Amino acid sequence: MPHESPFHTDNPEYPPTHRNVYHDNSLCDHGKAIKQEHRIPGPGGRPRCDRCNTLASKEQQWPVLRAISAPFRLVGKLVTRLIGRQ
């Protein structure tokens, strides 16, 4: 599971892209750059990091898209077969 509990940092050693947001995905490069000892648990009133957002939406979209497209692929095959017979 790539998810972890939200954390942020206020350590000035990190650039604003890392520091002005919170992270909750263990695959996030920005979050990974923050050392364990500099992590403060919780979102800290910050917006979620863009990278974490992207990772989260990718995870949510893929299984849904696959589930939605499966019946269409089946219908597509049948249509192709029907048209091929004519």
Which residues contact Zn ion (rule: CB under 5 A)?
A: 23, 28, 30-31, 49, 51-52
Residue 18 CA to residue 34 CA, distance in Å, equals 8
Using alpha carbons, list the distances in angstroms from residue 3 to 31, 34, 55, 70: 11, 16, 10, 27
- Smallest gap from Cβ 55 to Zn ion, in A, equals 8
Do the Cβ atoms of 33 and 18 come closer than 8 Å?
yes
- Smallest gap from Cβ 49 to Zn ion, in A, equals 3
Nearer to Zn ion, 54 or 80 (CB): 54
Name the residue number minimizing CB distance to Zn ion. 49
Nearer to Zn ion, 9 or 31 (CB): 31
